[in-house]
Structure 1
Amino acid sequence: MVEHDWVSLRFAEHQDRLHAVAYRMLGSPGEAEDAVQEAWLRVSRADTGQVENPAGWLTTVVARVCLNMLEARRNRREDAAGALPPEPDVPQDARRAGPEDEALLADSVGVALMVVLDTLTPAERLAFVLHDVFAVSFAEIGTVIDRSPTAARQLASRARRRVQGAAGASGAARSAKRDIVAAFLSASRDGDFAALLEVLDPDVVVGEMRGGQAVAAFFSGAAKAARLALVDGVPAAVWLHRGRARAVFSFTVSGGRITRIAIDTDPGRLRDLDIVYLATTKERL
């Protein structure tokens, strides 16, 4: 009974992380929940006498469950289609350029590049997600997939090149939108009415408010506590209060100008968002 209580406490302590691992691995909230439940059934029956690192042990169990689910999914596709889609052609010398690029890459998992991840083998996907997103060591990853740490590193590297190749294909559009959102935030903070009109479409819509003049007047001198960010992989703005996200501003951009701004303040929805804060040009200087 004492051992079972210990397992229950440790599982509850790490359940949010375990669900995040499963979701990133599988890309489906429902399948992630199934994987976590299966992991609980396994650990509740396991001998925990030799467990020294509960977090690592539980992550390993969830990862193995996800690996089995990915392999079963791949087998179903092969049976249905006869063959998997061709692997994307990615330059072998692709490399990450810096912290922001790594944030973009990591945050894209489960969002814009899920289709690309589906072209990876289960072992490649597991190695990439566990290492690049959750910082699991290659030694631990190797135990999950029954490979050496070196082999696990190679799998993650190969997957990373493919993901980067897909990220590069859509990177120009994402970067352009990020620049527009950054320009909007800068003009808003500075109270630069003319600069706001430059980035706003004349017919821009914000809730019940319509028109570039009205929207520019509303935001001019505001956004002091807003930060440029990637929200579920998409450039956006996040308003912070006492260090916590209280509102997310989502932007629709067309023709190089902002045509719509949606504001979400629902605490429940905000908690479920993946937010990566980005430095603006001024903040990097």
Structure 2
Amino acid sequence: MEHTDAPPQTRFRTSLGEIAATIVGRGPYALLWHGMFVDGNSWGSVVRELAAHRTLVILDGPGYGASAHLTRVSSIEECAEVGAEIIEQLGGDGRVDWVGTAWGGHVGMAVSALFPRSIRSLIAISSPVEPIDPVFRIKLIIANQVLAHFGPIAHLRHVIHDAQLIPAHAKDRAMTDVIDTALTRVPRRSVAATVTSFIVNRADATHRLPRIQAPTLLVAGDDRGEWSPEVMEAAAALIPDAQTRVIAGARTLLPVERPAELAAEIVAFWARLDAR
């Protein structure tokens, strides 16, 4: 399969409403699911390199971009069902190479454990498997109430920039615009519902790791405390077939912060997979 003209836009009917996607590239399907506070456009700087090796299905996750707004509390497990529904609608051999950042990595882990026949391989980028710190959780609940009522005001945007980007990148307008544009594209209550569903209520996913049978690559930036290289290595040790990589000069939003380095790691992983 090859998509070489202007990237076609499509929509998938799922249990969380219609999910928008852009499809571009050639070869087997790879499904790209972004992290929190951004949308499918956050993959923009890696698309050209990755599309030479896979047919990319670049989603706007539930509640973001052109996808259906999130109007209720959901869960990572429900997102996994959405992922499996999309993979089934794609056809082909019924499997994809899953690439997810943060939230997208959490969903990919759940799909891999719950719907193993749907996943050819898994790449989870900056996706800590433990729940958030209880003290931070309380602060996040308060901040999310502000977001739900007043939208992404300047103070909240700056807090998000600092969580997603290393200090030097948080001053880079091109990088922060990826976040700000995504936050202002959709209703504030939709974004707030995603925060409650996929961060505040995030449960420990460690128990799923031994059930992931697909070849897996875990990736961390060198400046995300809760997903340090050491924590990532401990998680990888629980997955039967896992590799790890650390990319310097990045925090959470690696496709934006270090696109060339990330794309190189993804392509190399796929090449090793294809050579098996």
Please indicate the TM-score interval, normalised by the length of the shorter structure: under 0.3
User: Which of the pair has the greater relative contact order for Cα pairs under 8 Å at 6+ separation?
Assistant: 2
- Structure showing greater radius of gyration is 1
TM-score normalised over the length of structure 2: 0.25
Higher helix share: 1
TM-score normalised over the length of structure 1: 0.24
